Amino acid sequence: MTEEVLGSAGALDAEVADAEAFDADGAVDEVEIADGPDSGAGEPSVISGSLPGDDLTEAQLEALLFVAERPLGRRELATITGASSETVDARLGDLEVTLVDRGIRLLVDGDRVALATAPDAGLLIGRYVGREPTRLSPATLETLAIVAYRQPVTKAGVERIRGVDAEYAIRSLLHRRLVVELGRADAPGRPILYGTSVDFLERFGLVSLDELPVLDAAVAELVLAPGAAAGGGEQAAGGAEPSAETSSVSTVSSPERAAAGGAGRDDAGTA
């Protein structure tokens, strides 16, 4: 089923190497500088100046995303810059267009955005950082495909489609930060809802989930049908997988949080 689900997205064989982002330390809204003549003894002074607000430039937004150590939400960007949500959306749109043919791309994962290296530079970056490309096992890749198209989805929802236990596969994907916990469903037992991460977009060369290939009719019926039942497992009263509208979701803002649930062993293969 994996080849049919993501066959046209050739990058999902996971041969693209991970690229490391540059880290930059320091606060955003307060920058300490050396003591000046007007500062108190031993007290650092702070660079003064007003926030850009709606005068936010594309270059300023790019710089902010460049030094960010994690994906940033649109509301968070508005708070940091003092700009309106409309201005933030406009500048993000401008930046996305500017970077479309560059070595850095703007990734959009729902409300969160981040900068990442272009997919066609993956091999070179992999050689530079000294990482060997890793592959996902067929079972893990199939689970990832289901999560990508079905999200938000519970473990039981994945198991109903695959017909087998998905505990290990999901733990492996959490460990690799390709999948994150989005919150909990409004269903008995409050099961965890899973979805793909910004790392998933970067790893497989996607700018947003809108770029996922269209499924064949038969595969779409199996993966997306609300009552898809390929096996047992817990199920909501109505028999359907909890949707985004009926689920209580607390969005994860940092990929590091997802890693906490992925302490399982690595299942990287070489086949």
Residue 110: the pLDDT is: 84
In the chain, list all ranges with CATH 1.10.10.10. 2-11+135-259, 17-29+52-126
Mean pLDDT of the chain: 72
What's the fold here for domain 17-29+52-126?
Arc Repressor Mutant, subunit A (1.10.10)
Flag whether pLDDT at 224 surpasses 60.
yes
Residue 226: the pLDDT is: 64
Task: Give the model confidence (pLDDT) of 63-106 as tens digits.
Answer: 999 999 889 999 999 999 999 999 999 999 999 999 999 999 99
Residue 48: the pLDDT is: 54
Q: Determine the Cα–Cα distance for residues 68 and 133; give it in Å rounded to an integer.
A: 25
Q: Could you tell me which residue, 225 or 123, shows the higher pLDDT?
A: 123
Residue 202: the pLDDT is: 84
- The answer to whether 81 and 57 have CB atoms below 8 angstroms apart is no
Q: Which of the listed CATH numbers 1.10.10.10, 3.30.1360.200, 1.20.1070.10, 3.20.20.140 matches domain 2-11+135-259?
A: 1.10.10.10
Closest CA to 63 of 86, 82, 91: 91
Tokens 């959009």 label which residue? 108
